[in-house]
Amino acid sequence: MGTNVYGFPLLSLLAYLPLVGAIFILFIKKEDEKKIMQTAFGVSIVTLLVSLLLIPGFDSTTADMQFTEQASWIPSLGVEYAVGIDGISLLLIVMTTIITSIAIVSSYTAINMRIKEYYVSILFLETGMLGVFMSLDFFLFYIFWEIMLVPMYFMIGIWGGGRRLYSAIKFFLYTLFGSLFMLLGILAIYFLNADPTYGTGQYTFNIIELQKLNLPLHPFQFWIFLAFFLGFAIKVPMFPFHTWLPDAHTDAPTAGSVILAGVLLKMGTYGFVRFCLPMFPEASVYFMPYMAWLALIGIVYGALVALAQKDIKRLVAYSSVSHLGFVMLGIFALNTHGITGGILQMVNHGVSTGALFLIVGMIYERRHTRLIADFGGLSSRMPIYSAFFAVTMFSSMGLPGLNGFVGEFLILVGAFEANKIYAGIAVIGVILGAAYMLWLFQRMMFGPLDKPENQKITDMNRREIAYMTPLVVFMFWIGLFPKPFIQVIEPAVEKIVQRLNSAGALAKQSSTKKTAKIQEETEETLIAINLETSKRVTD
C-alpha cells in the first residue's frame, strides 16, 4: 500500500495528539484559565513539531502513499483503519498544524468565557481536520469529515457574535446536506466495487482500491460525481452554494474564521482533487466546462460583492469566495499547470486570508467595531500593524514576489491552456481583487485620524507580532522560492493528469467511434433509399 520510513505509526500519533490534549484539558479546573491556555498551545506546538517530522522522511519523487498504516477494523463490512499521505496531503497537514497553533495563541485575549470548552473544541477540531487529509478508507474519512462539524458549530454558536446561532445552524445544515449526498456516492461505489464487472468483486471502503474502479460515464460516473460534487462544492463553497460562508465568517470568533479560511474550506477543494478527478475521470472531463463557468462566476461575483461591503470581515469573507473560485478553475483546467496552481493556491489562501482575519481580529479587539467607516488614518498610530496589513493585502492581491502571484499565475496558465476565454474572464477577478483590497487599505490606513476613539489606539504587541511573523515568512518564501512546494505536489498531480488524459482519450475515441457509426448508418440508409428509388424508376 505504501511506505513508512520511520517504522512506527507517526500519522496516528499526529492525528490523535490534539484529541489526547483535549481530554487532558477536561481534567484541569476551569478556574485555572492560564494553565488551560498554555496546555492547549503546548499540545498544538507538539503536534506541529510531529507534523514537521514528515518532511525529512517524505520522498518527493513518487506519487505513492507514504507513512501508511493499515489494520482491519470491521472485516464483515470491509472497513479498515487505513491512513497515508502524498505530497498534496503533506502540505495541507503541515498548514493545518501551523494554522491551529496560531489560532490558539491569537485567542488568549479575545476569548473570556468558557475557556476550557473553547480550547477543547479547537483541539478536537484539529484531530478531525488532520484525519480528513490522511484517511485512505472512506468509512474513516467520513467519520473525520462529520466530526469537524460539531466543534465548529459550537465555536460559531457560543463564542461568535452578531447572529451567531443563525450562522452556526446555517453552516451545520448546509454542510450536513452536502455530506449526506456524498455518503450516497460512497455507498454507490462500495456496492459497485463488489460487482466483478466494474471492480474487484469485494466489499471495501479502501480509497486506493476504489480508485481502480472502471465505471462507465453513464449512468454511474455521471450520477456519483454529482453526489460527491454536492458534498464538496458546499464545503468549498462554490457559487451558488456559498451563502453560508459570509455569515459564518462574520459571526465566528477570530480563531474560528482563521481555521475556517485556513483549513476547513480546503476540505472541499481537496475532495475534488483526491476523489472526483482520479475516481471519476470521464465525468470530470464531461463536467469540466460547467465547473469552470461556476468557478468563473464565483471569481467575479465574489470580487464585485466584496467591493460593496461596509464590514471588513464580510469583505474578506467574499474575497474568499473569489479566491476559491480561482482554486476550482485551476483544478478543473484538468492539466498539470492548472491543478498544481490550484493546490498551491489552497495553501496560499490559507496563509493570506488567515492572516487577513487575524488582522481584522486585532482591530476589533481594540475598537469593537468592524465597520470600515469607523477607521481612517490608522497608519500614523499603528505603523507595525499597517506594515503587516500591507504585506498581507499585497499577498492576497497576487503581487509578484509574494505567494499569491505564483498560484494565480499557474492557474491562469492552466486556464489558458484549457480555454483562452476562461483565462480572460479570470483576469477580471484579479483586477477586481486589487481594487477592493487597495480601497480597503486606503480607507483604513490613510486620510485624517479624525475619530477620537482611534487617537488612543495601540499598535501590535509582541504576541501579535510573533504569530503574524510565520505567515509573512511563508508569503515571501512561496513567492520567491516556490520550487520546494511545487516539487512535493508534482508527482501526485502528474498521476492524476495521466488518468484524466486517458479518460479524455477514451471519450474522444468513443465519440469518434460513435460518429463513424452514425456516418456508416447514414451511408447505408442513403444506399437503401437510392436502391429503392432506382427500383421504382425501373418499374
Domain chopping of the chain, boundaries: 10-514
| Residue found under cell 493546490 | 343
pLDDT in tens, the chain (539 residues): 556 766 789 999 999 999 999 999 999 998 898 999 999 999 999 999 999 999 999 999 999 999 999 999 999 999 999 999 999 999 999 999 999 999 999 999 888 889 999 999 999 999 999 999 999 999 999 999 999 999 999 999 999 888 899 999 999 999 999 999 999 999 999 999 998 888 888 999 999 999 888 888 888 999 999 999 999 999 999 989 999 999 999 899 999 999 999 888 889 999 999 999 999 999 999 999 999 999 999 999 999 999 999 999 999 999 999 999 999 999 999 999 999 999 999 999 999 999 999 999 999 999 888 899 889 889 989 999 999 999 999 999 999 999 999 999 999 999 999 999 999 999 999 999 999 999 999 999 998 888 888 888 899 999 999 999 999 999 999 999 999 999 999 999 999 999 898 876 554 444 444 434 544 554 564 455 455 655 654 55
| 365, 397 Cβ separation under 8 angstroms | no
In whole angstroms, what is the distance from residue 54 CA to residue 72 CA?
24
Sign of CA dihedral 387, 396, 428, 320: negative
- The helix (run of H) or strand (run of E) holding residue 84 is strand 79-85
Q: pTM for the complete prediction?
A: 0.90
HEC profile of 445-502: HCCCCCCHHHHHCCCCCHHHHHHHHHHHHHHHHHHHCCHHHHHHHHHHHHHHHHHHHH
Q: Among residues 128, 105, 135, 143, which one has the least CA distance to residue 16?
A: 128
